[in-house]
Amino acid sequence: MVLPLQFLSSRDIDPCGFEHLTQVFTKLAHDAIPSIVKIAVLKSGGFSSDTFKNQVFYGSGFLVSKEGYIITCGHVIENATKISVYFKNQEVEALLIQLNSEIDIAVLKIDGTNFPFLTLGDSDVTNIGEWVVSIGYPFSLRPFVASGIVGAKDELGTALFLDILICQGNSGGPLLNLKGEVIGISSALFQSHQELRGVGVAIPINQIKNHVLWLLSGDS
């Protein structure tokens, strides 16, 4: 029998289940955040005034290799004249390795070794209704963790639609399943002018695997 909500008491709720889910989210965030980076991009603009000719745009990205390879969205670094990555509160310059505007993906590289990195999952087996976690730098602030579910998938496997708000600065950050695997890249927000919220959009990780797996061949 299903009890109406007003008749439910604390003894009717499984505290162990909620506690376990909390532990899953907490550990996932703790393990993933060291691999998430903030990206600052100096872009050339089309303004006549020198004051506005170059503007700084912010986004997010994540390490996928101990050798310092980073994945982000292509629109984050388009028209970049300089790309900086903030890692462990240090600013380092990044080299653009690959840009594919068609699927909105970019690969960057920073100097160094033994970086923490995230594991790529399989977005084809991600189900509608599945819990997912988005991590990024909204408004270029501190790492921010948001959770929600996959609300829909397009038939061609080119987009995941989420009930997670993708804010400015979140683009390029990872979308993780509860195993901590990257199953998508936060990309955009569908939002009407009348609504405060919207539908988050992520690029399924299987869309870009063929473009980055060659980077990981030496990191297994």
Please identify every residue annotated as catalytic.
75, 104, 171
Cα separation values, 23 from 26, 28, 145, Å = 5, 8, 14
Cα separation values, 131 from 23, 93, 148, 178, 187, Å = 14, 35, 6, 7, 18
Cα maximum dimension of the chain: 69
CA 59 – CA 172 distance, rounded (Å): 6
Q: 98-125 burial, b for 16+ CB within 10 Å, e for fewer?
A: beeeeebbbbbbbeeeebebbebbebee
CA 2 – CA 175 distance, rounded (Å): 34
Structure tokens at 186: 């936060």
